[in-house]
Amino acid sequence: MDQKKKNIRTLSLEELQTYFATLGEKKFRVKQVWEWLWQKHAHSFEDMTNISKELRATLTETFSLPAVQVDTAQYSSDGTVKTKFKTHDGNFVEGVLIPAENRQTACVSSQIGCSLSCKFCATGYMDRKRNLDFDEIYDEVVLLNQVAEKTYGKKLSNIVFMGMGEPLLNYKNVLKAIERITANDGLGMSPRRITVSTAGVAKMIRQLGDDNVRFNLALSLHAANDQKRNSIMPINETNNIQALIEALNYFHEKTGNDITFEYILFKGVNDSIKDADDLIKIYKQVPVHLVNIIEYNPIDAADFEKPDRDATQKFMDYLANHRVNVRLRISRGKDIDAACGQLANKESIPATV
């Protein structure tokens, strides 16, 4: 990408209108170009076939249009599709399509690598190279929607920001991407079908409340006391559980949106009845919609193990008996390293999408 040229997708509709007015172009040309950028998903100005060659040449000389491309794809035996995307500057990031009977969910990334160091997550062992720009996140969703339509004949129904990176440490780009994804002149998706997952950045959870966002929030809790959470999620040292409880309550008070707890079970670490009791105490202090118990997915860099089925069931039954709305989230795409905590840009096969 030519660094001297401004990315045309950073322009608002009003700014684009002002620019076209300086060219003496008719107003309907603005609408045509805007549609190519946000609804027809042009990857270059040459794709904009209903505008003149002269105007396309002017746009090419003036602006850049850095689009994310599909690099490779992997197909799991359970129907999950992991796609590796290539950015304009040669970086890679992964997204996952998770199909189910009544939904098509896109799991998208917000950073190239991650600045946190959660001990159980493959991305946490990578360096954070940079944040994804809002239009790159938008492209991820567009491309995963194309995978869904081609593979299953259905559009995306849900989006979860649970891929690579911490969304709340790329706050402005994530919110701007969601604004475009939900806009009528964008993808037109309902914000109620979008969930942003955070490892727990208390200040930014409060900011979500102040910004009165309309999407749902998930907290990756994974341990219900500070000592254990510090040991597996270093972010807890500066964002402890009490601070997160207060921030989540503030968020809910401001927005009324659903809050989910994500809790990966690790054998001998956080799977005891005492751990369940600690989780119940937190659950009672926050208006939590649901607790997702997640199967641990092994990664090369860590030596955690998942509990056996009986231990998992015992933990869940204890929660349910104490009136916790709990569900086991079966991991998908484990055979292609596409499951929760496994995204790390490993080698994969050439894409056919």
C-alpha count within 13 angstroms, C-beta hemisphere, residue 192: 1
13-23 vs 27-38: helix crossing angle, rounded to 10:
140
Q: Contacts from 312-318 at CB under 8 Å and sequence distance 24+?
A: 312/265, 312/271, 314/273, 315/265, 315/271, 315/273, 315/275, 315/276, 318/273, 318/276
Q: Enumerate the active-site residues.
A: 94, 340
Token pair, residue 249, equals 């309550």
User: In sequence order, what are the beta bridge partners of 260?
Assistant: 218, 290
Alpha-carbon distance 47 to 43, whole Å? 7
Residues 6+ apart with CB under 8 A from 152: 99, 104
Give yes or no for a contact between 250 and 209, defined as CB atoms under 8 angstroms apart.
yes
* Residue 143 φ/ψ, nearest 5 degrees: -70, -40
Alpha-carbon distance 137 to 328, whole Å? 28
Residue whose tokens read 């809002």: 134
What are the DSSP E strand ranges found in the chain? 6-7, 63-64, 69-75, 81-86, 92-99, 104-107, 111-112, 130-131, 158-161, 194-198, 216-220, 259-264, 290-294, 326-329
